[in-house]
Amino acid sequence: MGIREKEVLNMQLTLIPILAKTWKKSYSELSELFSQYDILSYIDVCYENYNSTGNQGIINDLEDYIELQGGSVN
């Protein structure tokens, strides 16, 4: 695993509890959202941009991404 892959994985793992708390989801519910909307891949694609974005900006972007696909975090 390369450096970038490790850093992306670290970001993904860091975001999981933050998103669960913010969206008031259990880890099981969050896992379903992640699978349905391929959130981990999206975080990978956005990794460089997310490095200069605070947590709230990342949360907002992920919510927009899900909504653009017809979903909702609520």
Written in H, E and C, the secondary structure of 35-49 is HHHCHHHHHHHHHHH
Task: Label residue 11 by pLDDT band (50, 70, 90).
Answer: very high
Residue 19 domain flag: yes
Cβ distance 65 to 42 under 8 Å?
yes
Give a yes or no: residue 45 inside a domain.
yes
List the domain range (segments joined by +) for residue 52: 3-68
Look at residue 36 and tell me if it is in a domain.
yes
Give the separation between CA 37 and CA 66, rounded to whole angstroms.
7
pLDDT band at 28 (very low <50, low <70, confident <90, very high): very high
Measured from the Cβ of residue 33, the count of other Cβ atoms closer than 10 Å reads: 18
Task: Indicate the number of domains in the chain.
Answer: 1
